[in-house]
Amino acid sequence: MTYFIATYGCQMNVHESEKIAGVLESMGYTLAEDIQKADIVVFNTCAIRESAEQKILGNIGALKPIKAKRKDMLIVVCGCMSQQEAMAGVLKEKYPFVDIVLGTHNLADLRKFIEQKIAQKKRVFAIEEQQDIAPRDAMPMVRTSGVNAWVNIMYGCNNFCTYCIVPYVRGREISRPMQDIVKEVCQLLKEGYKEITLLGQNVNSYGNGKDETFAKLLQTLDALPYKYRLKFMTSHPKDLSMEVVDVISKGKNIAKCVHLPIQSGSNKILEAMNRKYTVEHYVSIIDALREKVPGVTFSTDIIVGFPGETDEDFALTLDVVKRVQYQQVFAFMYSRRKGTVADKMDGQIPLAVKKQRLQTLLAVEKEISEKLALEHVGEVEEVLLEDVHPKLANKLMGSTVYGRAVTVQGAGRVGDFVKVKITKVKNSVLFGDIVEDEYGYFANDATLFKNKRTS
């Protein structure tokens, strides 16, 4: 019996798919070669934008003729899209070939629902309200992200940014006990993982009282006796404390690239978004990080075409992008989400205007990131080798502590830290040659971390 998982959305979902794979493998399923041959197909969905949902529904629909021929195939839809009541209704009525629909809070019972469906031959719908996180934490896992391991530190979101569906589909914030996180990270480092990425919708509000804050957690993990990269996402600017800035600056393992979503460069729009910070405050955090963490780089998320965004507001967004000099910008056209406050706001922006603003923003950012990339040429930087290159023979892919992707030439082993001399830049990707590896000799064994991927 085989399985296939189609994953959409953020890293949280990528990690949750590792848990889905863990459950399925514990039931005896093995990874299918492709979706059409699988005995069980799981769609782990995202609801962040309408385009994501349309794509997912299209992909689910494409399985209809296959399921008509293979009646025993089981189709499961879970994740953020199916947690919405209206969408669960659409799946019930218009997608009768879908067998099991689960919300985000029901994932831990996946095995029970599959067994129930097989035994009773009746469709299963389980979309419940928030539950305890302990069962989700206890799910088995099949890790799929090579040298990196994802680690949940919290679930849910309390912020209710007016455009965003996440608080409605993921429930309220719950932080994992710090000792559970430390134990998991220790185990991963012992197993040989070289990068740990802490996951939460707003990691800066991690906490269970004053002894368990995000700063404390970072500091504790950073001090573990291993050489590795410690990353985290996502940081909300309203909660990024100076204590966290201080911990980053003193860190020996913490990566020097910070993802800090600004969303807009206009205070009027930030207020309408309910982001609870001003552009000035945001820039002051950037400046503090730059001062205390030499060479630190930044990436961000930006929404263009939020209701009421004028040309002047958008120009302010371009100003802040130029001011901060982001290494990377993830830019999105505002998408109306049913049930959110912004969906009911006046001043919705026409699609053509949103498209134009998106293009303008991407063009401005392209120039910045290319310029920043060129500054590295000639430097020798420490690179973590993450994978063999999928296309270029005898080349490896890695990244610097500043979060720059590097295509590396030379004998190296996936999972090693090596010194690389940057020789050129192409499409913002650095190219370089290994000049020294951590053992002082060149090994060549790329098999270490080539574990399978779920989709």
Q: Which positions lie near ligand F3S, rule CB under 6 A?
A: 9-10, 12-13, 46-48, 80, 165-166, 169-170
Nearer to ligand SF4, 46 or 422 (CB): 46
Question: Site residues for ligand SF4, window 102-161 (CB under 6 A)?
Answer: 157, 159-161
137 binds, among ligand F3S, ligand SAH, ligand SF4, none (CB under 5 to 8 A by kind): none
> Using the rule CB under 6 A, is 163 a contact of ligand SAH?
yes
| Residues 76/41, Cβ–Cβ less than 8 Å | yes
- Out of 83, 104, 175, 201, point to the residue binding ligand SF4 (CB under 6 A): 201
Query: Residues in contact with ligand SAH, total (CB under 6 A)?
Result: 17
Tell me the angle at which helices 242-250 and 214-222 cross, rounded to the nearest 10 degrees.
10
**Bond before 104 cis per omega within 30 degrees:** no
Return the residue nearest ligand F3S (CB atom): 9
Counting every residue, how long is the chain? 455
Q: Contact with ligand SAH (CB under 6 A): which of 264, 335, 369, 454?
A: 335
Q: Please, which of residues 36-75 interact with ligand SAH by CB under 6 A?
A: 48-49
Residues 282-311 interacting with ligand SAH (rule: CB under 6 A): 301, 303
DSSP state of 239: G
Query: Does residue number 263 form part of the binding site for ligand SAH (CB under 6 A)?
Result: yes
Beta bridge partners of 257: 297
Binder among 236, 354, 357, 413 for ligand SAH (CB under 6 A): 236
Query: Does residue 261 touch ligand SAH according to CB under 6 A?
Result: yes
DSSP state of 349: P
DSSP string for residues in 383-423: EEEEEE-SSSTTEEEEEETT--EEEEESS--TT-EEEEEEE
Would you say 168 or 417 has its CB closer to ligand SF4? 168
User: At closest approach, how far in Å is the CB of 274 from ligand F3S?
Assistant: 17
DSSP reduced 3-state for 331: strand
What distance in Å separates the CA atoms of residue 376 and residue 401, rounded to the nearest whole number? 13
Long-range contacts, 269-272 (Cβ 8 Å, 24+) = 269/306, 269/308, 269/309, 269/313, 272/162, 272/306, 272/307, 272/308, 272/342, 272/345
Residue whose beta carbon is closest to ligand SAH: 301
Q: Smallest distance, Å, CB 48 to ligand SF4?
A: 8
Task: Compare residues 9 and 410 and give the one whose CB is closer to ligand F3S.
Answer: 9
Nearest CA to 29 out of 65, 1, 69, 62 is that of 1
CA distances from 287 to 275, 293, 324, 363, 375 (A): 20, 10, 9, 24, 20
User: Nearest approach, Cβ of 137 to ligand SAH (angstroms)?
Assistant: 20
Q: Which range touches ligand SAH (CB under 6 A), out of 102-110, 163-171, 311-319, 401-409?
A: 163-171
Please answer whether residues 238 and 276 qualify as being in contact, where contact means their C-beta atoms are separated by less than 8 angstroms.
yes
Place of tokens 């919405």: 84
Stretch 211-230 residues interacting with ligand SAH (CB under 6 A): none
Residue 383 interacting partner from ligand F3S, ligand SF4, ligand SAH, none (CB closer than 5 to 8 Å by kind) = none
CB of 104 to ligand F3S, least distance (A): 8
Residues forming a β-bridge with 233: 199
Query: Which residues are near ligand SAH by CB under 6 A?
Result: 48-49, 163-164, 166, 201-202, 234, 236, 261, 263, 301, 303, 332, 334-335, 337
Query: Which residues are near ligand SF4 by CB under 6 A?
Result: 157, 159-161, 164, 166-167, 201-202, 236
